[in-house]
């Protein structure tokens, strides 16, 4: 499909079409006709548009970038969720959102690069979900958690084919598997 950058070629084809019908027109006249077809007052305006389009730097190809996902866990009690995520796991509450007073909570919690969303909204997520998280220092993290004397969880570290794994379960049956690669393998590679 032709566009305004093909105006000179279009003018040449138009002049030939007129000549084939024994109608005499100049090249300038066909350029003016083509300019009018593109909504320009005259050929000089269209020529300036063509020159600007040809001298414009090429638009770089859009780069595809995928960032780590943010898991959404369904919660049923803000108090229990804060006791678990903030007080026990040591997450920071980054922000909270409610559509109004006495509405369900949607919030973001994070710790050391891990971002999670917690939601009281029905339909945002299903209870019993699981997130798999690569990390380093899983044994030290376990010791930190044990030292908090959280009455509902005493996590252990297990050896798995992919490394060391410590799984914690929140009060709503959502699980987070904190995993550390062993034998010099780098985290994030499965």
- Tell me the per-residue pLDDT of 150-186, one tens digit each, with 9 for 90 and over: 999 999 999 999 999 999 999 999 999 999 998 755 5
Query: What does the block give as tokens for 6?
Result: 């093909």
What's the pLDDT score for residue 190? 47
Exposed e or buried b per residue across 37-69, where buried means at least 16 C-beta atoms within 10 angstroms of its C-beta: eeebeebeebbeebeeeeeeeeeeeeeeeeeee
Question: Hey, where are the domains in the chain?
Answer: 4-55, 72-180
pTM of the model: 0.65
Higher pLDDT residue, 143 or 184?
143
Q: How far is CA 58 from the centre of its chain?
A: 25
Contacts of 98 (CB under 8 A, 6+ apart): 104, 105, 106
For residue 114, the cross-strand partners are 111
Query: What does the block give as tokens for 95?
Result: 């922000």
137 conformational bin, left if phi > 0, alpha if psi -120 to 50, beta if neither: left
Class of domain 72-180: alpha beta
């Amino acid at each position: 499909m032709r566009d305004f950058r093909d105006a000179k070629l279009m003018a040449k084809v138009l002049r030939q079409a007129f000549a084939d019908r024994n109608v005499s027109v100049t090249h300038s006249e066909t350029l003016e006709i083509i300019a009018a077809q593109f909504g320009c007052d005259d050929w000089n305006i269209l020529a300036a548009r063509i020159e600007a389009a040809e001298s414009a730097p090429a638009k770089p190809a859009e780069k595809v970038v995928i960032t780590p996902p943010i898991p959404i866990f369904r919660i049923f009690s803000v108090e229990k969720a804060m006791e678990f995520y903030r007080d026990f796991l040591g997450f920071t509450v980054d922000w909270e959102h409610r559509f109004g007073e006495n509405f369900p909570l949607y919030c973001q919690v994070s710790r050391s690069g891990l971002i999670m969303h917690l939601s009281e909204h029905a339909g945002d997520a299903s209870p019993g979900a699981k997130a798999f998280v690569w990390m380093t220092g899983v044994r030290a993290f376990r010791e930190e958690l044990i030292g908090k004397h959280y009455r509902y969880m005493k996590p252990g570290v297990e050896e798995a084919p992919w490394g060391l794994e410590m799984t914690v379960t929140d009060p709503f049956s959502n699980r987070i598997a904190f995993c550390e690669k062993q034998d010099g393998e780098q985290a994030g590679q499965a």
